[in-house]
A = this chain, B = another copy of it.
Amino acid sequence: MKNDILTNETHPELRVFRLEMAHPGDVSRLAALLDAGTINASEVAAVIGKTEGNGGVNDFTRGYFTQSLFHLLARHSGTPSQQLQDSIPCILSGGTEGVLSPHYLVFVRTSAAAEAPAGPALALGKALSPVVPAQDIGRWAHVRSVADAVRAAMDDALIEHPGEVAFVQVKCPCVTSARAESAVAAGHSVLTADANRSMAYARAAGAFGVALALGQIEDDAQQEARLLADFSRFCSQASISSGVEVSVNEVVVLGHSRHWHGPLRMACEPMQDALDLSAVMTALGRLGLKPAPQLPPAESARVAGVLVKCEPDRRGHIRGVRHTMLDDIDINAQRHVRGALGGVVASVIGHGQIFVSGGAEHQGPDGGGLIAVIASVGNL
């Protein structure tokens, strides 16, 4: 089998460490785990986290954390920082509004002895696409590029069927003024040179790319017109970020594979709107957790990570009641909605180390989004 994480003596096992950070350059908690040998630097497969910036184009907390992380891993692994950065997805969402707390999930692919109890268990695969040219961003070529990377990540995870995929996290590049200028100089046209607009298109392309890889839509370039237009189309397993700091699609696939071992499982539920508390309950319930309505501490301790995508309803109303997020030029709408969803979800989970990310175009129902929970099934 091509994937070297399978051997005769051992089976892959995913471990997830949820670590706090004191500031965006603080990787001391991971450093301590590396120093202690709890984590082997070469087994770090992906990092997903929230930093305390504003989440916009001028949020440099993501770049700062990324630089700090890869310097640390380089020091521990002996591999140059840039080379690591080219193989380990580090997907960050800026903005810890309200009760949200800066933290990062370190996904470690380790191995269990072959006699470990059989799967299926939570599996992780990753892939980085080739560079996406500026002229492709937000177009069907971008959708295909994401889909290819998702398929590669599924292979990497030893996930055999789309139905086994629980959640796909993608970070897509976007067009910046500089990239737009280069592309135009080379005779290409870009969909938009506005970075914020381009990020939205990139997220849309990412969601369609995941849907394509999972067999939920056809590979039909005509569908390009649906991006940011037909919001009835969405993928409930796709969580997409976009940022100026990447030029390739970074993909992390999480799902359940019979080849993997360990206690972790994942549930992902679409959220109908920003107030869809029952989706939170359902996701937890599918993992055997019993919120009442808040998770008791012992249950909350079983939760390894929570990831939420959400969106300020672009029609200006939630359940018939006006919201003011879209017209506020003092606070960006995504900051507003992250703060609200942070409250909704953290009050159930019992703490604020929740990954809540805005920009949920085509990632769950229009005006809503999705919630994904990773938890240990404990002694079930």
Residues of A within 8 A of B (CB): 20, 22-25, 52-61, 63-64, 67-68, 71, 96-102, 177-178, 195-196, 274-278, 281, 291, 293-294, 315-316, 318-325, 327-332, 335-337, 339-344, 346-348, 350-353
Contact = CB atoms under 8 A, between A and B. Distances in A.
A68 to B, nearest CB: 7
Contacts of A64: 24-25, 60-61, 63-64, 67
A62 to B, nearest CB: 10
12 contacts: A20-B321, A56-B328, A56-B330, A57-B329, A60-B61, A99-B275, A99-B337, A275-B350, A319-B352, A330-B330, A340-B340, A343-B343
Contacts of A337: 98-99
B274 A99 contact: yes
A71 B82 CA distance: 13
Nearest to A330: B330
A295 to B, nearest CB: 10
A338 to B, nearest CB: 8
Contacts of A340: 97-99, 339-340, 342-343, 346
A203 to B, nearest CB: 16
A324 B328 CA distance: 20
A182 to B, nearest CB: 14
A327 B195 contact: yes
A325 B98 contact: yes
A343 B274 contact: yes
Given A20-B321, A52-B60, A64-B67, 6 more contacts: A22-B322, A97-B340, A99-B274, A101-B323, A277-B294, A323-B352
Contacts of A96: 323-324
